[in-house]
Amino acid sequence: MTGKVAITLNINGRDHAISVEPRRTLADAIRENCGQTGTHIGCEHGVCGACTVIVGDDPVRSCLMFAAQADGVPIRTVEGLAKGDTLHPLQRAFMDHHGLQCGFCTPGFLMLATAVLEREPNITDDDLLDVLASNLCRCTGYQNIIKAVRAAAAEMRA
């Protein structure tokens, strides 16, 4: 068996000192070593986007990255979106617009949209559609996800 490496994952401002096999993905490390199970795994081969988290400032498919590559870089996950009891505008918008059904894809969409709206607050509707088309949802047919993200974008700009 491969030896383990000691790394520190900084998730939502908290350090997790863990020891993992070099082949352990960031997704597995976040979920299993750090117990942050809000990040989901839908395909483990980089297609569905359910595992999207923000590493540094970038939305990243955590199933395609090794945990060791994220050593020391600030990571944000769905658990860190709300400020205390105050939900992030995207979380509120997803509830207001019924942007989720089973909720399995939701953390991935929330983190993807958060990163993109922070980087590009004035993103056009069409570009936003392209961004959202990079994640899969099997329940909602996307209509309400798009509506929710647009509403949150408007609110975040205001």
- Binding map of another protein across residues 118-157, x = CB under 8 A, - = no contact: -----------xx-xxxxxxxxxxxxxxx-----------
Sign (positive or negative) of CA dihedral 129, 154, 117, 84 = negative
Q: Which stretch in 6-14, 35-43, 74-82, 86-94 sits in contact with ligand FES by CB under 6 A?
A: 35-43
**What CA–CA distance (Å, rounded) separates 158 from 34?**
35
Convert residues 37-76 into a mask of x (bound to another protein by CB under 8 A) and - (unbound): xxxxxxxxx-xx-x--------------------------
| Residue 34 binds: one of another protein, ligand FES, none (C-beta under 5 to 8 A by kind) | none
**H/E segment holding residue 107:** helix 106-119
Does residue 5 belong to the site contacting another protein (CB under 8 A)? no
- Tell me the sheet residues that pair with 15: 10
From the list another protein, ligand FES, none, partner contacted by residue 61 (C-beta under 5 to 8 A by kind): ligand FES
Tokens of 107: 């953390």
Task: Give the single-character DSSP code of 29.
Answer: I
The two three-digit tokens of residue 2, written as one number: 């491969």
- The position carrying tokens 């199970």 is 37
| DSSP state, residue 68 | G
Interface positions with another protein (CB under 8 A): 1, 21, 23-24, 28, 31-32, 36-45, 47-48, 50, 77-79, 81-82, 87, 91, 94-96, 98, 100-107, 110, 129-130, 132-146
